């Protein structure tokens, strides 16, 4: 995954412009489909999405399920459903879950379809749009739906563009440019989780602190994975830095003078987390 995309200058002027454009697009569609990263469903949400969408019927697309904890993905799906949203789970990279999109949208918009039928407008297509923060998988999703390769949505907020529609199936059209939203930058926990997954650059924190925070959370929630991968054992109160030291010692990451090379260990932990060599983890629960 590239890490440059969240480098967008999301200063307030851009947010306002993006929001205005999205509100204009919203008038053209029957439903909004919000793509989230299944590993961090809360941190990959836009903080203003409810206000932006108003009363539009909503779908949540939990993407990257190939990288997330399946039990927690199920819990999140149930939670979003309980809020009245349609939910599908996708691995866009491998085309999993994509064909659930049409049926799930028709269920969500069943009332509207019934009204169309009553008025003799049975063939009128439903129109929907996809929104999400940079890097969450919007272009990949739209390309999969359209059966095409390579076209990348421009991750530039506030750029005027012509409207084009992608045919999902008969009677269902998707706006072919996604709405690019900003995450909740002001919340440091959100910044941390976006950095764990690589959605933002590592330099929000030094790499060792970032890795220590990740190790600490994994030790609390998925200790077996760390035991197996790094052959470490520790008590429940062990700090992230202590966990990194234990792992660095086991791996023999030493600097001249026998000092532990924690920077090297930190990079290994982050790389192994992001490539799922450590396992499939979800770092947020609905509670």
| Residue 201 near ligand G4P by CB under 6 A | no
Which of these ranges, 132-140, 168-176, 198-206, 253-261, lies near ligand G4P under the rule CB under 6 A?
A: 132-140
Contact 68, 94 (CB under 8 A): no
Q: Rounded to the nearest whole angstrom, what is the least distance from the CB of residue 166 to ligand G4P in the complex?
A: 14
Q: Considering the rule CB under 6 A, would residue 169 count as an interface residue with ligand G4P? A: no
Provide the pairing of β-strand 172-175 with 165-169: antiparallel
Q: Is position 137 an interface residue for ligand G4P (rule: CB under 6 A)?
A: yes
Render 11-33 in DSSP notation, one character per residue: -HHHHHHHHHHHHHHHTT-SEEE
Q: Using the rule CB under 6 A, is 91 a contact of ligand G4P?
A: yes
> Are 167 and 75 within 8 A, CB to CB?
no
Q: Which of 66, 100, 169, 263 binds ligand G4P (CB under 6 A)?
A: 66
Is residue 136 a contact residue for ligand G4P (CB under 6 A)? yes
198: left (phi over 0), alpha (psi -120 to 50) or beta: left
Give least dist CB 199 to ligand G4P, A.
9
Find the binder of ligand G4P among 18, 43, 46, 155 (CB under 6 A). 155
- For position 5 contacting ligand G4P by CB under 6 A, the verdict is yes
Q: Is 2 in the site for ligand G4P (CB under 6 A)?
A: yes
The C-alpha atoms of residue 181 and residue 100 are separated, in whole angstroms, by: 24
202: nearest Cα among 4, 10, 44: 4
Told to check if 1 binds ligand G4P by CB under 6 A, we report yes
What are the beta bridge partners of residue 173?
127, 167
Q: Which is nearer to ligand G4P, 136 or 283 (CB)?
A: 136
Q: Is there binding between residue 97 and ligand G4P (CB under 6 A)?
A: no
Angle at 105 between CA 104 and CA 111, to 5 degrees: 110
Count of C-beta atoms within a 10 Å radius of residue 169: 14
Binding site for ligand G4P (CB under 6 A): 1-2, 5, 63-64, 66-67, 90-93, 132, 134-140, 152-153, 155
């Amino acid at each position: 995954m590239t890490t440059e995309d969240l480098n967008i200058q999301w200063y307030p002027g851009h947010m306002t412009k993006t929001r205005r454009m999205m509100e204009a697009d919203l008038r053209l569609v029957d439903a909004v489909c919000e793509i989230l990263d299944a590993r961090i469903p809360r941190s990959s949400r836009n903080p203003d999405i409810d206000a932006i969408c108003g009363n539009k019927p909503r779908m949540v697309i939990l993407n990257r399920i190939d990288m997330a904890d399946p039990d927690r993905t199920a819990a999140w799906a149930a939670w979003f459903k309980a809020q009245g949203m349609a939910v599908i789970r996708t691995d866009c990279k491998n085309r999993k879950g994509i064909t659930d999109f049409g049926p799930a949208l028709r269920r969500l918009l069943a009332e509207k379809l019934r009204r169309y039928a009553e008025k003799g407008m049975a063939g009128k297509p439903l129109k929907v749009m996809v929104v999400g923060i940079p890097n969450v998988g919007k272009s990949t999703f739209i390309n999969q739906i359209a059966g095409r390769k390579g076209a990348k949505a421009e991750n530039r907020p506030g750029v005027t563009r012509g409207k084009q529609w992608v045919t999902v199936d008969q009677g269902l059209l998707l706006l072919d440019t996604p709405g690019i939203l900003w995450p909740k930058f002001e919340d440091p926990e959100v910044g941390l989780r976006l950095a764990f997954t690589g959605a933002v650059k590592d330099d929000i924190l030094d790499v060792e602190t970032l890795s220590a925070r990740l190790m600490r959370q994994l030790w609390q929630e998925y200790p077996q994975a760390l035991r197996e991968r790094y052959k470490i054992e520790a008590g429940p109160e062990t700090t992230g830095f202590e966990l990194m030291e234990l792992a660095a010692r086991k791996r023999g990451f030493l600097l001249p003078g026998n000092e532990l090379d924690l920077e090297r260990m930190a990079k290994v932990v982050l790389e192994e987390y992001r490539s799922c060599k450590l396992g499939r983890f979800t770092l947020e629960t609905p509670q």
